[in-house]
Amino acid sequence: MPHPEPIICFKKVSLSFGDNEVLRDADFDIEAGDPLCVVGPNGGGKTTLLRLMLGLIQPDQGSISVLGKPPTKAHSEIGYMPQSLQFDPKFPVTVEEVVGMGLLHPGSLAIWKRRNNSHIQEAMNAVGIESRGNDQFSELSGGQKQRVLIARAIVSKPSLLLLDEPTANLDLTLEEKLLETLLNFHPEMKIIMVSHDLGFVSSAVTQVLCVNKHVHTHPTESVSPELIQELYGPSPRRILHSSDLGHDHHHH
């Protein structure tokens, strides 16, 4: 069921970490519907934007609502995959247990409900790790770990899915059909993802959110090289292969 009001609503949100201004007067709505990608330079505030949506950090000024509620009240309806996980490499936990953490809820206790197992299996199937359920998480490769964390984010079939650099370690087989896979798993889910991979962005989403202290939304086809240059600044390492992001893959 699409929400009648915007999925996410930022009103004049500003945030600084000490002297470092991260966001200034961010004012935008994100409607239900197609996936949306957050792009911008390193340190531009992309991850901070996701963390504000999650209520993990509070803005200095302005207000945020997610699914019509304050972010901290919407947690049970949000799936989240962080950019990096600071975990102990030897931590004894299996893939199935990690995915199952996505089904925790307030008041979760030791009792493992049998019906949860089918949800976990379904999420593992979706990202192609169904045969690794009993393996130790720490023994997986970077790409496999990424798949496990995606499965953990989607296992509860959330209304909103926030993915921070989901394609960073993925192999091409899953990267190319990531959004299709996620939407097949739960079609009503609004997907917002941070990505550096402009090629992936251009082929996968119809709308981008450009973040570099200020936030602007654009349809993907209107993201011109000039806009990219304005967003990222002149960079000798960036190579654009065509004039229209909507028609070709770009790398930077």
Partner 1 sequence: MESLKQILFDDSLFFMRQALLLGILASIPFGTIGSLVVARRITYLAAAIAHAVLAGIGFSLYAQSAWQWTWLHPLVGALVTGIMAALLVGWVSLRFKAQEDTLIGAIWSVGMAIGLLFIFKTPQYIDPMSYLFGDILMISSVDSALVALLALVVVIATIILYRPLVALCFDEEFASLRGVRTTPLYLLTLCLTAVTIVLLVSIVGIVLVIALLTLPAAIASLFSKKLWQMMIGGSVICMILTALGTCLSYAWDLPTGPFIILIAGASYLITLVLRSRIN
Whichever of 78 and 245 has its CB closer to partner 1, that residue is: 78
Q: Which of 112, 184, 229, 241 binds partner 1 (CB under 8 A)?
A: 112
Strand pairing report for 78-81 and 36-39: unpaired
Please identify, using beta-carbon distances, which residue of 13 and 78 lies nearer to partner 1.
78
Provide the minimum distance between the beta carbon of 139 and partner 1 in the complex, in angstroms, as a whole number.
9
Q: Is 75 near partner 1 (CB under 8 A)?
A: yes
What is the DSSP annotation of 98-163?
HHHGGG--TT--S---HHHHHHHHHHHHHTT-GGGTTSBGGGS-HHHHHHHHHHHHHTT--SEEEE
C-beta closer to partner 1: residue 45 or 100: 100
DSSP type of residue 77: G
Going by C-alpha positions, the residue among 31, 44, 51, 241 that lies closest to residue 164 is 51
Among 40, 59, 102, 166, binds partner 1 (CB under 8 A): 102
Instruction: Please pick, from the candidates 9, 32, 93, 240, the single residue that binds partner 1 as defined by CB under 8 A.
Output: 93
- The CA distances from residue 16 to 21, 47, 128, 156, in Å, are 4, 14, 40, 33
Of the candidates 65, 95, 61, the residue with the CA atom closest to the CA atom of residue 78 = 65
Nearer to partner 1, 112 or 242 (CB): 112
80 in contact with partner 1 (CB under 8 A): yes
Under rule CB under 8 A, residue 83 binds partner 1: no
Residue 124 within binding range of partner 1, rule CB under 8 A: no
- Which member of 152, 186, 190, 250 binds partner 1 (CB under 8 A)? 152
Q: Which residues contact 248 (CB under 8 A, 6 or more apart)?
A: 202, 241, 242
Q: Residues in the site for partner 1, rule: CB under 8 A? A: 54, 56, 75-76, 78, 80, 82, 85, 87-88, 90-94, 97-98, 100-110, 112, 134, 136, 152
